[in-house]
Structure 1
């Protein structure tokens, strides 16, 4: 499974955005010069709802650190909108992440357990912090909904990195 290497350029990935237009992962659109991309499993996932609610709560802190926050999934527009409405998301939300895009980001992909869960393959959680140079500063990929970075700890880490010009870690490739 190909994955992204810390410190390398994050591949610009364009998705449709809720509210119209597009959202480009890896490229900030506002005043912030870093971007946090949170890939969530979909509307069917109660763990995702709780995680995104916590992320929404911490949004002002991320913005204060110069980090644009976006959430994306493979859900179609209707389900992504239902998630945004249910959780009360104010951050940009991208939808219709394709399987090819999931693969390009090195995400694990799961099939639904039943039609009641969802109707298509979906990504497992992924968290990407892209720095001002467009490079992948932090990456966390999980194969299950139960393992994700602590959002308060991640925010604290970003504060430390930015305040101390801390380098990208984990760039040594195993042989």
Structure 2
């Protein structure tokens, strides 16, 4: 059993400055909002080998308007290669940026759980388990959900509704008691 796990990112801290690449070659800063929004939803998924991730990303597409209405931009990223992402897009019906090539060092700096593939049928590289980060207009982590299992993730419609409440009521970052 490994004993030196990455430090988990805490609510209220600045989201790390991290660049990722999308399919057209453009580099995106992971936690920086775009498209006229001032908050960012960052979805980390396991990769194309995970049918639960495929379902989750397709569900995100169905509720993305709720995030947009709340001023929240979206990006998803995994450690998959460009070729793996291209293959995965055949199963995805999404219209938000999706990046590839998240490195182990980047996964560690985000405090993600990292798994080794069970076999070559699964994938050919270590991959992160799922996580969701919501980065506010100050670049701070408003919400953090880091999982070590593919079936433990926030329900997207509830998250969108909760974020609307947070934005409308100037609700503070929770979980910051020292």
- Work out the CA distance in 2 between the residues paired with 1:81 and 1:28: 24
* Range with bigger deviation, 115-124 or 12-21: 12-21
**Over aligned residues, Cα RMSD in angstroms?**
0.9
Residue correspondence of structure 1 range 34-113 to structure 2 within 5 A: 34-113=39-118
SS at match of 1:6: coil
TM-score by length of 1: 0.96
> Which of the numbers 11, 22, 25 marks the counterpart of 1:20?
25
Tell me what 1:119 maps to.
124
> Which of the numbers 131, 136, 142 marks the counterpart of 2:147?
142
Q: Is the 8 A contact 2:66 2:161 kept in 1?
A: no
| Unaligned ranges ≥5, structure 1 | none
SS at match of 2:90: helix
User: C-alpha displacement at 1:105, in angstroms?
Assistant: 0.2
| Unaligned ranges ≥5, structure 2 | 1-5
Please state if 1:167 is matched with 2:172.
Answer: yes
- Work out the CA distance in 1 between the residues paired with 2:106 and 2:73: 21
- Work out the CA distance in 2 between the residues paired with 1:33 and 1:145: 29
Q: What number of residue pairs does the alignment pair up?
A: 173
User: C-alpha displacement at 1:81, in angstroms?
Assistant: 2.2
Structure 1 stretches of at least 4 aligned residues deviating more than 6 Å after TM superposition: none
User: C-alpha displacement at 1:34, in angstroms?
Assistant: 0.4
